[in-house]
Amino acid sequence: MTHLTAGSRLARWLLPMLLAAAPVAAAQTQALPAWDQLTPTQREQLIAPTRERWNAEPGQRDELLERAQRWQQMTPEQRKHAHRGVKRWRHMSDEQRAEARALYARMRSLDEDQRRALKAKWRAMTAAQRTAWVEAHPAPERDCEE
């Protein structure tokens, strides 16, 4: 059973796709064509990271497929939000990621009012208080790496 948070699981799934697509997007100065107009090489560049992950991690295939299905159901705004989260995650330090994991794990068990109260409390904490809070409320152990 995996203990990754939804955000970190999404980051693990989206990051390879975003990194694979970045050189293609950067190389293009004009708008990219629809899927049917992509060259076989361009399609391969987009699909290869997913195929490699699928083949390398047979135990994660159910999760990979579930993520892909969730992605298809997201609105464009939800997808933008997910992309921003992946970008923010990539730029976090290990300490910031530990804080995020612990805070996310705790937030999942709270109702809306309790979440709002914890967010306000968190924003008012000093760095030392946050560190102490994370030590007192650690995120569950994870089965796999990011």
pLDDT digits (tens, 9 = 90+) for 57-88: 999 999 999 999 999 999 999 999 999 999 99
107/120 same-domain check: yes
pLDDT at 30: 77
Query: Using the 8-state DSSP alphabet, how is residue 139 labeled?
Result: P
- Cα torsion at 47, 146, 93, 142 (round to 10°)? 150
Higher-pLDDT residue of 77, 26: 77
pLDDT tops 90 at residue 117:
yes
* 31 occurs within a structural domain: yes
Q: What is the DSSP letter of 58?
A: G
How far lies 56's CA from each of 14, 45, 49, 90, 105, in Å? Answer: 16, 17, 10, 22, 28
Is there a single domain that holds both residue 34 and residue 73? yes
**What is the average pLDDT across 1-25?**
55
- Lowest-pLDDT range of 60-64, 98-102, 126-130, 139-143: 139-143
In the chain, % of residues over pLDDT 90? 68
In this prediction, residue 146 carries a pLDDT of 47
Q: Is a pLDDT exceeding 60 seen at residue 28?
A: no
Strand segments, DSSP code E, in 1-146 are none
21/80 same-domain check: yes
pLDDT at 122: 92
Looking at the fold, whether 12 and 77 belong to one and the same domain comes out as yes
The pLDDT assigned to 23 comes to 57
Q: Is 104 within a domain?
A: yes
Q: Which domain holds residue 105?
A: 94-136
